[in-house]
């Protein structure tokens, strides 16, 4: 970050970061994320993806008929979404994440994935996400109600397994909800994604085993109670 400019999305928009989701295990992660997110959207919504240069959701959003705008902190964040931007199926704009160049309520829904845990002034980011949406904001974040709470103690091991991981904030659910409530929003859907740490699944490297483990955690209620990252929908009151 240069000065007070938040640019955490530059790394998540890189090819190096995309390799963390390569292979069948990565495809499993993204399939869960995509399925959960699409289920929360009304048909043909005007969607703003803040920090969406990773392109993890862009194709699915476009294919589902949504009008997609991607906003990144730098022009370089355009690279992984060029297939949609260059063909006019989505738009890209760069600028300050904490001063979005859009009017109040410009979009039906605002998404921010792979972003909140890496932004220093994350509460300010929440305020901007809330300002530019008419109805809802959907974010993802690691929760302390999960094994991510041990992330600090085991960061060295995690880095050894994943290679290119970086420190991130693990949130109390209440802190995230209260940040949105301060801007007139209330909780909608809360969807924890995985009970077992994603680093463990990457270390196993066998997607069918990961699917079985997570299926068992789902039917026993472990994912609902302790899963992470959480996909959280916050809705504008009224």
pLDDT, tens only, 37-56 = 999 999 999 999 999 999 99
Query: What 3-state class would DSSP assign to 88?
Result: coil
The answer to whether residue 4 sits within a structural domain is: no
Instruction: State the pLDDT at residue 5.
Output: 85
Structural domain includes residue 104:
yes
CB 114 within 8 A of CB 12: yes
In a domain, 130, yes or no: yes
Q: Residue 92's pLDDT is what?
A: 98
Question: Do the Cβ atoms of 170 and 201 come closer than 8 Å?
Answer: no
DSSP label of 42: P
**102 pLDDT band (50/70/90 cuts)?**
very high
Can you give the pLDDT at residue 167? 77
Q: Supply the Cα-derived Rg of the chain in whole angstroms.
A: 17
Where do runs of H (alpha helix) occur along 72-206? 82-85, 122-131, 155-162, 173-181, 198-204
In this structure, are residues 179 and 229 in contact, taking their beta carbons and an 8 Å threshold?
Answer: no
Rounded distance, CA 181 to CA 184, Å?
Answer: 5
CB 82 within 8 A of CB 22: no
Are the CB atoms for 195 and 214 separated by under 8 Å? yes
CA–CA separation, 138 and 233 (whole Å): 4
Supply 97's token pair. Answer: 């994440």
170, 142 contact by CB (below 8 A):
yes
Is residue 2 assigned to a domain?
Answer: no
The residues near 174 (Cβ < 8 Å, ≥ 6 apart) are: none
Q: Based on the number of CB atoms within 10 Å of its own CB, is 142 exposed (0-12), middle (13-18) or buried (19 or more)?
A: buried
Residue pLDDT, tens place only, 119-156: 999 999 999 999 999 999 999 999 998 776 655 544 45
Inform me whether the pLDDT recorded for 161 exceeds 60: no
* Bond preceding residue 229 cis, omega within 30 of 0: yes
Query: Does 1 reside within a domain?
Result: no
In this prediction, residue 146 carries a pLDDT of 76
Average of per-residue pLDDT values in the chain: 93
In a domain, 226, yes or no: yes
Residue 18 resides in a domain: yes
At 128 the pLDDT is: 98
Number of structural domains the chain divides into: 1
Q: Each residue of 64-77: pLDDT tens digit?
A: 999 999 999 999 99
Give yes or no for a contact between 76 and 18, defined as CB atoms under 8 angstroms apart: no
pLDDT at 46: 98
| Structural domain includes residue 62 | yes
Q: Which residues contact 225 (CB under 8 A, 6 or more apart)?
A: 145
Query: Average pLDDT, stretch 11-19?
Result: 96
> Containing domain of residue 73, as a range?
9-236
Domain containing residue 155: CATH number? 3.40.50.150
What is the spatial distance between Cα 48 and Cα 129, in angstroms, rounded to a whole number? 9
The 10 Å Cβ neighbour count of residue 43 is 7
């Amino acid at each position: 970050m240069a000065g007070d400019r938040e640019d955490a999305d530059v790394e998540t928009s890189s090819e190096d970061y995309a390799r963390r989701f390569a292979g069948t295990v990565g495809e499993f992660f993204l399939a869960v994320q995509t399925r959960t997110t699409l289920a929360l959207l009304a048909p043909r919504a005007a969607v703003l993806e803040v920090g969406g240069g990773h392109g993890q959701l862009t194709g699915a959003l476009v294919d589902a008929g949504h009008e997609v705008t991607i906003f990144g902190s730098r022009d370089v964040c355009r690279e992984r979404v060029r297939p949609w931007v260059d063909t006019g199926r989505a738009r890209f704009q760069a600028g300050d994440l904490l001063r979005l160049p859009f009017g109040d309520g410009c979009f039906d829904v605002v998404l921010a994935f792979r972003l909140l845990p890496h932004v220093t002034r994350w509460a300010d980011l929440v305020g901007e996400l809330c300002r530019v949406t008419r109805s809802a904001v959907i974010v993802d974040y690691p929760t302390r109600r999960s094994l991510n709470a041990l992330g600090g103690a085991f960061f060295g091991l995690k880095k050894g397994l994943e290679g290119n991981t970086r420190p991130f904030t693990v949130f109390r659910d209440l802190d995230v909800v209260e940040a949105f409530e301060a801007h007139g929003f209330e909780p909608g859907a809360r969807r924890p994604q995985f009970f077992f740490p994603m680093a463990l699944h990457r270390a196993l490297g066998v997607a069918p085993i990961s699917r079985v483990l997570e299926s068992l955690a789902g039917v026993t209620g472990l994912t609902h109670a302790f899963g992470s990252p959480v996909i959280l929908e916050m809705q504008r009151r009224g």
